[in-house]
Structure 1
Amino acid sequence: MESPADIAALATLARLEATIAQRRQADPSTSYVAKLSARGTPKIAQKVGEEAVESVIAAMADDRAGLIGESADLLFHLMVLWADKGVALADVCAELDRREGTSGIAEKASRPKA
């Protein structure tokens, strides 16, 4: 059973997803999401990478507040990337649900070799 905190966290992400969807079509001069979206997938993906690195740096520095802030930035930019590529939060959650109960080692071993 999900806790109230779990439900609230999922609701936050769902609201953010809806806001991103709405703002993608806004005026790029007044909306960061629209401006980023107008710059295309490469720029959005670059921002995801930057925020991921900044999250790692904060974690390695034992900077809890920094890690929380950078993680929020990372999730935001990742969700902008998902929107750009037509991926919904529900799609990612469904994949996580599919993997639940499977050992990470076993799941990785089951992936096709590149």
Structure 2
Amino acid sequence: MSESKPRVDFDALAAIVAQRAGADAGASYTRSLIEKGVAKCAQKLGEEAVETALAAVAADTKAVVSEAADLLYHLAVLLQVRGVPLEDIYAELGRRTAQSGLEEKASRPKG
């Protein structure tokens, strides 16, 4: 019988990132990344987004899973460093999903 692996949802991931944000930078990649600032965190998020997209186009499902996990981790780090609570994201998603995507896009300010 094999051990089941723990399932980590985005709330749990964000909590882990928040905890590790307070750790020593020498012991925590998360803390060392946060210490480099928002720009570096944003750069890492962008890199992971591109890597996820490239894996998807290459039709490499295992790589998509791996890169998507990296992407979500780096998103959690960026939200942490910017002080954006997940509840704000969830509220925005709730607002947007209350109508069709086309209606939501049409309601955005033109810029």
Question: What TM-score does the superposition give when structure 1 sets the normalisation length?
Answer: 0.86
| Residue segments in structure 1 that go unaligned for 5+ positions in a row | 1-7
Pair 1:44 & 2:52 matched: no
Distance (whole Å) between structure 1 residues aligned to residue 9 and residue 103 of structure 2: 31
Which residue in 1 is equivalent to 2:70?
73
Pair 1:83 & 2:80 matched: yes
**Which runs of 4 or more aligned residues in structure 1 lie more than 2 Å from their structure 2 counterparts after TM superposition?**
none
Report the AA paired with residue 40 of structure 1.
G
Report the AA paired with residue 79 of structure 1.
A
Q: For residues 1-12 of structure 1, what are the structure 2 equivalents within 5 Å?
A: 12=9
Distance (whole Å) between structure 1 residues aligned to residue 72 and residue 103 of structure 2: 26
| Residue segments in structure 2 that go unaligned for 5+ positions in a row | 1-5
Which residue in 1 is equivalent to 2:94?
97
Question: What TM-score does the superposition give when structure 2 sets the normalisation length?
Answer: 0.88
Which structure shows the higher helix fraction?
1
Q: Over aligned residue pairs, what C-alpha RMSD do you find?
A: 1.6
Residue 13 of structure 1: CA displacement? 1.6
Instruction: State the number of aligned residues.
Output: 106
